[in-house]
Amino acid sequence: MDPQLERKVETIRNLVDSYMAIVNKCIRDLIPKTIMHLMINNVKDFINAELLACLYSAGDQNALMDESQEQAQRRDEVLRTHQALKEALAIIGDISTSTITTPMPPPVDNSWVGGSTGGRRSPPPSPTAPRRMSSGQRPAPRGAPPPPNRPGPLGPFNNSADSPQAPSRPNRAPPSIPR
């Protein structure tokens, strides 16, 4: 084929593609508008032809505009709620936030602070807290016997052979060290 003819064919193909894209977009825009136009025209025709004829043949047109009992109750309820909310808003507006204050807390009783502790302050002992014991005292039994004394493991500084030792685990080599 001739290269000049190929360029002309490609140009025409591009022009036709862009024209079809424009037509496609216009149709997509017109379809909803056309549907709404047809619906509105059909509703308008129905109102003119049938609905008005039915309404006029019903008799008393003033009775058609009367409020139903349910609507009247609902309207009264909404009006009462509206009035109550207006009164509540007026009450809230009358309250001045500057007059509301928090009372000051009572002064701190620091009579337990003494000057003879050398700068360390400690609170008074609590009546429910357990008391500390001196190193030689044992707590009073409370129903259960105290646990028995167990001597600690032998260390490099505690090498007394006369004190019995309770081993906590058997003498085994760690698994990473071969025997």
Q: What is the pLDDT of residues 117-133, one digit of tens each?
A: 555 555 555 555 555 55
79-121: pLDDT as tens digits: 999 999 999 988 888 876 555 667 777 888 888 876 555 555 5
Determine the residue type at 105.
P
d(CA 61, CA 53): 12
pLDDT at position 150 is 58
Cite the DSSP H helix spans in 47-134.
52-57, 61-64, 69-94
d(CA 53, CA 47): 9
The overall pTM is greater than 0.75: no
Name the token pair of 133.
Answer: 């014991």
Banded model confidence at residue 65, pLDDT cuts 50, 70, 90: confident
Contacts of 19 (CB under 8 A, 6+ apart): none
d(CA 150, CA 148): 6
d(CA 69, CA 117): 85
